[in-house]
Amino acid sequence: MASEKKKASIFTRLSDTNLLLAITIIIFVLMYLGAVLIQGGGFTKPQTFFNILNANAALILTSCGMSIVMITGGIDISVGGVVALVSMCCAVYLDKHNGNVFVSILIALAIGLAYGVVQGFLVAYLDIQPFIVSLAGMFFARGMTTIVNSAPFNVENEAFVTLKNTRINVPGLGSVNKKGVYVPAYVEIGVIVALLAVVFLFFLLQYTKLGRSFYAVGGNKQSALMLGINVKRTKFLSHLICSLLAGIGGYVYFLHVGSGSPSHASGMEMEAIASSIIGGTMLTGGVGNIIGTLFGVLSLSTIKNIVASAGLDEAWWTGITIAAMLCIFLIIQSVVMAQKKRALKTN
Amino acid sequence: MSKDSAKGGFWRKLVSHQLFIPLVALILLAVINLIHDPSFFKITLGTNNAGYPALSGSLITILDYGSELAILAIGMTLVTAASGGQDISVGATIAIAGSAMLRVLCGSNSRPDTLAAPIIVGFIVACLAGMACGAFNGMLVAYFKIQPMIATLILFTAGRSIAAWINNNELPIVPDPKFGYFGGFIPGVPIPTTVFIAAACIVVIALVLRFTNLGLYTQAVGINESSSRLNGINPNFIKFITFVILGLCVAVAALIKVSRLSTINYSVIAKDIEMDAILAVALGGNSLAGGKFNMWASILGAYIIQFLTTTLYKFNVSSDALAAYKAIVVIILVVVSAPVFRDWISQFAKRFAKTQKEVG
């Protein structure tokens, strides 16, 4: 009886954010252990895990931006389009105009910044629904990508290719391959960028005035206003950060694939939203965590890997399993939150 | 003086009317087309490939291809009004309903010589599939309290995969030319059949809104869920039923879409149509946060989107770049119709008038 009461108090003492974060991490760990047990082989190698990171560094960046917008109570579905636009513009600049790698990074940042300023202004100061603004933003980015160049092509700029192939070995981790040679596990530059961004954003959200005001605005706009928070500016900044991260994510994506194509990152906005939700961010705003988002991306991509390595190579299985997982996560979230509400009421 | 203020009142009323922006957009598009190429408005009676009389012309194209969107806009308006969110899975559920219909019509053989079942049976199955998808979405939204966009994200991700799975990833072709009538022309009738289907749907929804409490209840739930519950309305059921109605609209749209080609392409069919359907609701001046709605404005919005698409094609915009131009038009429209922007303009106009007076 006593233990039951204690359990309930821990359950209710955790904030919504931490409760959902805990669920996410537990489920991810269980899933990865399950993958190791069922599939064995590949999943025990550290490189498999790092490959998930390598392939999804861009998704981590865009999902973090998405989480911030969602915490503030908005949504941004233009991120996939921005990623495609950035990689196409950089590809054209580097390959067709033989450009400088440093300048191409500036191009990526400039596109992200421009998107953030325009969308943020429309959402925050003109009070237009974020869904419509970013929908138009997505249309515009996808259309512009084909206007810039409609055919996919590979970039052969030397400096860029060197940067693309740079591998950073992870100390202490590696595996012995079939020939008996020890191969250290490696990550690409994009992963470092993504993880730095995660750490930076975690501290921003947790310990700065701006970060806390994101939660305040998303939780309750009126009381945030009463507290003296500049609601419009906070909303504006959330969209600015999101688009800027999409710009950086676009470059990281470009660094991973090394080509420009109108079909790049198609559906990435939905994957980013899904990752944020799996990571415990709520679309109603005010609840969410960057670490959770990181685990959301990892869970999503682990599922993809499991499906791919389980030999269910028919393309439709990926879609169905991701959707099924999303469904389960959403229902767990919904049930847990309802339970918590009830527990709080009875206390 | 009093006459002046009355006049001002009239203008203010006109400008703030919900249908003002969509109608101005429509007139503007028409004028642009008139200046660019007056033959845009020409309607000619010719014969189609099958040798039957058929009307052709840009206006007919707009009415023809705008039908699916108008039908979807009906359901989307109800969902938006009741739940304050949007269904982003309509494109994917069109693929599911269409796939189910083809599965019934063609049987297990993907190249049949005769229909395996009458067309009406196929359509009923499509309706059931669409309503099942709608019920799934509605259940998540109404009973599990998941935000509509997120709940429908599930089917958005899985829908096209499920559609491919229903037909084992084959692309069945319907052998009966009669099946093509729904997306084309009935022999002897020069008006596209889709126009009749859309008109029928609009009449049905008009009757439903006129003779049932659906419209009133939907708005009540959208405006304030708890007070509608206190008034004896079951908000969960209302939300659920709007999603089921949208599922039915999806099935009708799927019939048209599949009939146009007599076959299906799972990854391409009705791609991005959810975005257009949501836009139609927003262009009509309906709040995407739920509450009060105007069905006619949404339907008008749907045809405006098709008008815009057809106009852009006339200006030789390639189909890939279309999205960029559409985005610009959408942004202009939403900015012009934003209340904040209107306040700015009216303040600016007042200040301008003041300075004019002082100068005078």
> B330, A136: Cβ pair inside 8 Å?
yes
Closest CA to B297 of B307, B308, B286: B286
CB contact burial B1-39 (16+ within 10 A = b; e otherwise): eeeeeeeeeeeeeeeeebbebbeebbeebeeebeeeeee
**Where are chain B's structural domains?**
16-316
> B321, A146: Cβ pair inside 8 Å?
yes
Q: Which A residues in the span 70-89 are in contact with B, Cβ-Cβ below 8 Å?
A: 75
Mean pLDDT over residues B16-39, rounded?
84
> B327, A133: Cβ pair inside 8 Å?
no
Q: Which residues contact A70 (CB under 8 A, 6 or more apart)?
A: A218, A273, A276, A281, A282, A283, A285, A288
Express as a percent the part of chain A with pLDDT over 90. 32
What is residue A13's predicted lDDT score, i.e. its pLDDT?
Answer: 60
Tokens of B201: 């749907």
B340 vs A contacts (CB less than 8 Å): 125-127
pLDDT at B76 over 90: yes
For chain A, give the mean pLDDT.
Answer: 84
What is residue B4's predicted lDDT score, i.e. its pLDDT?
Answer: 47
What is residue B334's predicted lDDT score, i.e. its pLDDT?
Answer: 78
What is residue B77's predicted lDDT score, i.e. its pLDDT?
Answer: 94
Question: Which residue of A66, A70, A316 to mutate against B (max B Cβ within 10 Å)?
Answer: A316
**Where are chain A's structural domains?**
25-341
ipTM of the complex: 0.75
Most confident of A275-284, B84-93, B177-186: B84-93
pLDDT at A269 over 90: no
> A128, B338: Cβ pair inside 8 Å?
yes
Express as a percent the part of chain B with pLDDT over 90. 32
Express as a percent the part of chain A with pLDDT over 70. 89
Q: For residue B122, count CB atoms less than 10 angstroms from its CB and return exposed for 0-12, middle for 13-18, buried for 19 or more.
A: buried
What is residue B94's predicted lDDT score, i.e. its pLDDT?
Answer: 95
For chain B, give the mean pLDDT.
Answer: 86
What is residue B128's predicted lDDT score, i.e. its pLDDT?
Answer: 96
pLDDT at A69 over 60: yes
Q: Which A residues in the span 230-259 are in contact with B, Cβ-Cβ below 8 Å?
A: none
> A128, B334: Cβ pair inside 8 Å?
yes
What is residue B3's predicted lDDT score, i.e. its pLDDT?
Answer: 46
Fold of the domain spanning A25-341: ABC transporter involved in vitamin B12 uptake, BtuC (1.10.3470)
> B160, A137: Cβ pair inside 8 Å?
no
Least confident of A41-55, A196-210, A288-302, B153-167: A41-55
Most confident of A18-27, A182-191, B160-169, B331-340: B160-169
Least confident of A114-128, B71-85, B103-117: B103-117
pLDDT tens, position by position, B12-23: 777 777 788 888
What is residue B330's predicted lDDT score, i.e. its pLDDT?
Answer: 79
Q: Is A151 on the interface with B (CB under 8 A)?
A: no
Length of chain A: 347
What is residue B52's predicted lDDT score, i.e. its pLDDT?
Answer: 74
Fold of the domain spanning B16-316: ABC transporter involved in vitamin B12 uptake, BtuC (1.10.3470)
Mean pLDDT over residues B174-197, rounded?
86
Question: Which residue of A318, A327, A339 to mutate against B (max B Cβ within 10 Å)?
Answer: A327
By Cβ distance, the residue of A143, A316, A334 closest to B324 is A143
Q: Is A137 on the interface with B (CB under 8 A)?
A: yes
Global pTM reads 0.81
By Cβ distance, the residue of A128, A323, A334 closest to B157 is A323
> B153, A326: Cβ pair inside 8 Å?
yes
- Is the separation of the CB atoms in B192 and B180 below 8 Å? no
> B150, A314: Cβ pair inside 8 Å?
no
pLDDT tens, position by position, A291-320: 889 988 988 888 877 777 766 556 677 778
CA distance B42 to chain A (A): 30
Most confident of A57-71, B3-17, B303-317: A57-71
B2: pLDDT confidence band, cut at 50, 70 and 90? Answer: very low
Full 3-state SS string of chain B = CHHHHHHHHHHHHHHHCCCHHHHHHHHHHHHHHHHHCHHHHCCEEEECCCCCEEEECHHHHHHHHHHHHHHHHHHHHHHHHHHCCCCCCHHHHHHHHHHHHHHHHHCCCCCCCCCCCCHHHHHHHHHHHHHHHHHHHHHHHHCCCCCHHHHHHHHHHHHHHHHHHHCCCCCCCCCCHHHHHHHCCCCCCCCCHHHHHHHHHHHHHHHHHHHCCHHHHHHHHHHCHHHHHHCCCCHHHHHHHHHHHHHHHHHHHHHHHHHHHCCCCCCCCCCCHHHHHHHHHHHCCCCCCCCCCCHHHHHHHHHHHHHHHHHHHHCCCCCCCHHHHHHHHHHHHHHHHCHHHHHHHHHHHHHHHHHHHHHC
- CB pairs A-B closer than 8 Å: 136
What is residue A260's predicted lDDT score, i.e. its pLDDT?
Answer: 86
How many other C-beta atoms are found inside a 10 Å radius of the C-beta of residue B188?
A: 7
Question: Which residue of A127, A128, A313 to mutate against B (max B Cβ within 10 Å)?
Answer: A128
By Cβ distance, the residue of B149, B165, B325 closest to A316 is B165
**Residue, of B319 and A62, whose pLDDT is higher:** A62
What is residue A9's predicted lDDT score, i.e. its pLDDT?
Answer: 54
**Residue, of A267 and B155, whose pLDDT is higher:** B155
> A143, B331: Cβ pair inside 8 Å?
no
pLDDT at A6 over 80: no
Question: Which residue of B76, B331, B335 to mutate against A (max A Cβ within 10 Å)?
Answer: B331
Q: Is A114 on the interface with B (CB under 8 A)?
A: no
**Residue, of B114 and A10, whose pLDDT is higher:** B114
